[in-house]
Amino acid sequence: MNLYPLKFKPILKERLWGGTKLREVLDKPIESDTTGESWELSAVKGDVSIVANGPLSGRTLQDLIDEDAEALLGTSVVERFGNDFPILIKFIDARQDLSIQLHPDDALAKERHDSFGKTEMWYIMDADPGANLIVGFNRDVTKREYTQSLAENKLLDLMNYEEVEEGDTFFINTGKIHAIGAGVLLAEIQQTSDITYRVFDFNRKDKNGNLRELHTDLALDAIDYEKKDDFKIPYGSQKDMVNNMVECPYFNTKYLDLTHDFKQDVSNRDSFTIYLCVSGEVTIENEYGSAPVHKGETVLVAACTDAITLKTKGAKLLEVTI
């Protein structure tokens, strides 16, 4: 295969809490006023990304993996994950607060759902004044205190709120209770998993007048009840350099603030590379071809690439590898 930088068609998701920022800020082709998510790069069954550019246009991500997994993903990635693409990339627009939720770890997700767990990170793309996130508890709590707060409709009294602005970055490890607040647009990088335990949804109803399903019992043994300040990620922002953001067993994310062309030797990387453009415009090139990218677009560069050139007069990028 000619594995030039690959762009994919966004998979748009309607959500009762969704809004219009995916169109207004990121230029996504949404038609409703309640589009909550744009899945940028996905191999989740039923939601597999389709190539949008070049000769491979119309092929699915899974097709390309099945044809030559090592060339696309990297030998070490295939050894760990086989032909399963291990990363899911989304943009999320919260016009209303999302439900308070958490995700199980790998062991619990495997036992209960035959799935990966869901470790994730967030990069704030846009935030209304005063917008916030819920991340963790505001003090250590016991399981009994937690269940009592649910029964008394007082869970919000235990939540930790974090006001946010563009560029803030958060790491959400498994077990951490969390919610995206109204007015926040963010990029989400996560393990390939759609396993979520919803524990509180502000008692709101869907368009049919029904309360959404909660996963109260499933969540009890998955929650981390300790107060921890391990979620907001400080990172360097030196221009025209690779700045470390997040390193974990599931993904590594770097931050690039480029003012001019930038070239990287990736011949020893042995992993695919994902770029999320969070500001400006850039053309991404490897030895097989190129792809123009603007704010709100995502590109996959194959592991068989030896060098990546980022041609730009100004762009900010998140770079994700395994």
| Residue 217 φ/ψ region, left for φ over 0, alpha for ψ in the -120 to 50 degree band, beta for the rest | alpha
Terminal-residue alpha carbon distance, the chain: 22
Report whether CATH 2.60.120.10 matches the domain 243-321.
yes
Which class in CATH covers the domain with range 6-220?
Answer: mainly beta
Active site residue 198: yes
Mean pLDDT by 10 residues, the chain (322 residues): 96 95 97 96 95 98 98 97 96 96 90 88 97 97 96 95 97 96 98 90 82 90 94 96 96 98 97 98 98 98 98 98 96
What span, in angstroms and rounded, lies between the C-alpha atoms of 37 and 47? Answer: 12
Structure tokens at 269: 């990387």
Check whether 178 is labelled as a binding-site residue.
Answer: yes
3-state secondary structure of 11: strand
What span, in angstroms and rounded, lies between the C-alpha atoms of 311 and 322? Answer: 24
Backbone phi, psi, residue 175, to 5°: 90, -15
What span, in angstroms and rounded, lies between the C-alpha atoms of 124 and 166? Answer: 5
Decide: 57 and 33 in contact? Cβ < 8 Å: no
For residue 106, count other CB atoms closer than 10 A to its CB.
Answer: 17
pLDDT at 51: 98
Question: pLDDT per residue over 158-172, tens digit each?
Answer: 999 999 999 999 999
The domain segmentation of the chain, as residue ranges, is 6-220, 243-321
Nearest to 54 by CA among 314, 284, 249: 284
Question: pLDDT per residue over 9-58, tens digit each?
Answer: 999 999 999 999 999 999 999 999 999 999 999 999 999 999 999 999 99
| Residue 27 φ/ψ region, left for φ over 0, alpha for ψ in the -120 to 50 degree band, beta for the rest | left
| Active-site residue identified among 144, 198, 204, 212 | 198
Backbone phi, psi, residue 109, to 5°: -65, -40
User: In CATH terms, are 6-220 and 243-321 the same topology?
Assistant: yes
Check whether 281 is labelled as a binding-site residue.
Answer: no
pTM here is: 0.94
pLDDT at 194: 78
What span, in angstroms and rounded, lies between the C-alpha atoms of 100 and 102? Answer: 7
Check whether 260 is labelled as a binding-site residue.
Answer: no
